[in-house]
Amino acid sequence: MSGMPQPNEHHQKLRKLVGNWVGQEKLAASPAGTAGLATGCINSRLDLEGFFVLEDYSQERDGHTVFRGHGIFGWDDHEKEYIWYWVDSMGSVPASPARGKWEGDTLLFEAGTHGRYTYKFMGDNSMNFKIENSSDGGNTWAPFMEANYRRA
Q: Residue 38 is part of a domain; what is its CATH number?
A: 2.40.128.20
Tell whether 4 is covered by a domain: no
Q: Are 138 and 118 in contact, with CB atoms under 8 Å apart?
A: no
Q: Is residue 87 part of a domain?
A: yes
Partner residues linked to 83 by β-bridges: 74, 99
Residue 1 has pLDDT above 70, yes or no: no
pLDDT of amino acid 2 = 66
pTM of the model: 0.92
CB 54 within 8 A of CB 70: yes
Domain that holds residue 47: 9-151
Would 3 be classed as within a structural domain?
no
Structure confidence by residue, pLDDT tens digits, 127-144: 999 999 998 988 899 999
- Max alpha carbon distance in the chain (Å)? 54
Residue 80 has pLDDT above 80, yes or no: yes
- In a domain, residue 1? The reply is no
Do the domain assignments include residue 2? no
Which of residues 17 and 139 earns the better pLDDT score? 17
CA-wise closest residue to 129 among 84, 94, 91, 89: 84
Q: How many domains does the chain have?
A: 1
Q: What is the mean pLDDT of residues 23-32?
A: 89
